[in-house]
Amino acid sequence: MTHYILVHGAWEGSWSWDYVRPTLERQGHTVTALNLHGGSDDGKNITNVTMDSYVDTVVNAINQLDHKVVLVGHSMAGTVISLVAEQVPAKIQKLVYVAAFLLGNGDSVLEAMQRDPNGEFLPELIFSDDQSSAQALEQTWRSKAFHDVRENRILEALPLLLGVGQATEPFMAKMVLSQERFGSVPKVYIRTAIDKMVSPKLQEEMLQNWKTDEVLELNSGHFPTLSMPETLAELLL
φ/ψ (deg, to 5) at 217: -140, 140
Cα end-to-end span (Å), the chain: 11
Residue type at 30? T
Q: Given pLDDT bands bounded at 50, 70 and 90, which one contains residue 42? A: very low
The yes-or-no verdict on residue 47 having pLDDT over 90 is no
* Angle (deg, nearest 10), helices 77-87 and 51-63: 50
Q: What is the pLDDT of residue 164?
A: 85
Mean pLDDT of 140-169: 96
How far, in whole angstroms, is CA 180 from its chain's centroid? 23
Marked catalytic residue, from 14, 75, 108, 220? 75
Q: What is the pLDDT of residue 185?
A: 98
Q: Given pLDDT bands bounded at 50, 70 and 90, which one contains residue 44? A: very low
Mean pLDDT of 70-83: 98
Residue type at 226? L
**Model pTM?**
0.95
Domains in the chain: ranges and CATH: 3-236 (3.40.50.1820)
For residue range 189-224, list pLDDT tens digits in order: 999 999 999 999 999 999 999 999 999 999 999 999
Which of 233, 190, 187, 180 is CA-nearest to residue 210? 187
The yes-or-no verdict on residue 43 having pLDDT over 60 is no
| Percent over 70 (pLDDT), the chain | 95
Known catalytic residue: 75? yes
Distance CA 14, CA 135 (A): 18
CB 129 within 8 A of CB 92: no
